[in-house]
Structure 1
Amino acid sequence: MNKQLTESLENYLETIGMLIRKNKIARVKDISKELDVKNSSVNIALNVLADKGLIIHEKYGYVELTPEGQKIADDIQHKEDVLVQFFTEILGVNEEVALKDACRMEHTISDETLAKLIFFIGKIGKKNTKKTNK
């Protein structure tokens, strides 16, 4: 991923993006609660993300994603969504298990594998649609 991000930092970006989509804002305490970490850990991660130009954060204020941070957060979420869809719709995995597995895998799946997975899901979806329309 861009800017040499660790899995942990990617999780912070993804969580910030999710909180902004859900609540219109992201705050340290919300990020802390969502990731089940201490506020001090959140502040350390936010400082690193700010240094990399991925977020804007004023002490005791809201956290905003920069355009580059938003792109990375969206990419991570897209990977998770595709993996969850594959696990639940194609493999029949329980959604809770699928979410946990996808969260771990989204950080390591290559763009090539993701593209092939999306293609495969599209092919299988069309086959399933054709069978149900007969």
Structure 2
Amino acid sequence: MRLTSSMEDYLEAVYILFQKQGDVRCVDVAEYLEVTKPSVSRAVKELTKAKYLRKDSSGILSLTSSGEQVAAAVYERHCFFMERLIAAGVDSKTAEADACRMEHGISPEAFEKLRRSIERQGEEVK
């Protein structure tokens, strides 16, 4: 299954929410992403089928190892772009929205080269 940017957003949301609060349920993801619960249920079903996500009998969501790899990479790109946009003077709300779009549109190779280029310029990359 090729992950869409929307599916990556769901994985990233589970990743972030787990770090913040531990247990993650569909309702948490719906609130975080400001989407409907049925949308989350459909995404969870697809991501579970593709083995990126697990849902236990009590409704707790967890990332599989492959799901965590994808989510961590998406989140890294998001933070990278958001930090640079804010440093360039973009307001945080716009930077958040733009970083969300940028994190999905860049290839892993281009992102890595961009990150290394900035590191060579002496800027710390988190």
In the superposition, the TM-score normalised over structure 2's length comes to: 0.89
Provide closer, same or farther for how the CA distance between residues 117 and 95 of structure 1 changes in structure 2, counting only shifts above 3 A.
farther
Structure with the bigger percentage of helix: 1
| TM-aligned CA deviation for residue 95 of structure 1 | 2.0
Residue 27 of structure 2 corresponds to 29
Structure 1 Cα separation of the partners of residues 114 and 4 of structure 2: 24
Higher Cα Rg: structure 1 or 2?
1
Deviation at 1:41, TM superposition (A): 1.2
Residue number in structure 2 paired with 1:47: 45
Residue segments in structure 1 that go unaligned for 5+ positions in a row:
127-134
| Alpha carbons 1:79, 1:106 under 8 Å: kept | yes
Structure 2: gaps spanning 5 or more residues: none
Tell which deviates more after alignment, 32-41 or 117-126.
Answer: 117-126
Deviations 1:19-43 (A, max 9, x none): 1000011101111111112211111
Partners of 1:116 and 1:87 in 2: CA distance = 18
| Residue 70 (structure 2) aligns with | 72
Aligned to 1:120: 117
Q: Which residue of 1 aligns with 2:54?
A: 56
User: 2:93 aligned with 1:106, yes or no?
Assistant: no
Identity %: 31
Q: Alignment partner of 2:54: what SS? A: strand
TM-score under structure 1 length normalisation:
0.84
User: What does residue 9 of structure 1 align with?
Assistant: 7
C-alpha contact 1:86 1:121 (8 A) present in aligned 2: no
Q: Aligned equivalents of 1:65 and 1:92: distance in 2?
A: 35
Question: 5 Å matches for 1:77-92?
Answer: 77-89=75-87, 91-92=88-89
- Which letter maps to 1:9? M
Counterpart position of 1:129? none
Which amino acid in 1 is paired with 2:66? E
Alignment partners' CA distance in 1, 2:123 and 2:86: 13
Question: What secondary structure does 1:4 align onto?
Answer: coil
